[in-house]
Copies of this chain bind each other. A is one copy, B any other.
């Protein structure tokens, strides 16, 4: 095969990789939007909008399936190595996390329907939902940071989002403690308690999945797998 033929294949390959990379951003944008909308349905007490969020999860799932199909094709036809291979593997992991962020987002929408979707149900006290709003903003912040890091393959940006997740964890634990006191003060809230705890948990999971995406950026660029960092330290210390 002549030089121009090879050049063409390389170019096509770059286009394939760029498309894969873009797929993460597309899917990330979609689930980030799903998260914003889901949080807004709770704030607006908007049951119809909540149903629309749940319906739209299908788009997230379609993107995941298509990306995994593309990954299998690229691996079989192009047989990438080194950083190209790491990008493909990073995308493969990232779409799983993004799909799960989508799943967690629709749980928030489900709670909106659960609480505001029936006549004459007891509404939760406002202070119960305040922590969810705070956690929602924090989780959204981690997710956006991770997606920006993935967009520019910026290791420093990725590393800085890793720390943000700790704040979400802190807010989460404080929220659970407050939840118990609110229910002790007013036992009419008991029916909402589990729902709210599970949604707080969902937001904590979202931030955790977003952090994973940041870790894949580091893996992709540097070739080091920084998940379970204490394991690495323990291994190198042996």
Q: Does A118 contact B (CB under 8 A)?
A: no
A200 to chain B, nearest CB (A): 9
Interface residues on chain A, size class: 35 or more
With a CB–CB cut-off of 8 A, which chain B residues contact A193?
A: 180, 183, 190, 193-194
Using Cβ atoms and an 8 Å threshold, which residues of chain B touch A155? none
Q: Are B191 and A234 in contact (CB under 8 A)?
A: no
Q: 8 Å CB contacts to B: which residues of A183-238?
A: 183-184, 187, 190-191, 193-194, 197-198, 201, 225, 227-228, 230-232, 234-235
Cβ A58 vs Cβ B231 within 8 A: yes
Query: Which residues of A are in contact with B by a Cβ distance under 8 Å?
Result: 58, 61-62, 64-65, 68-69, 71-72, 75-76, 79, 81-82, 85-86, 89, 92-93, 96, 176, 179-180, 183-184, 187, 190-191, 193-194, 197-198, 201, 225, 227-228, 230-232, 234-235
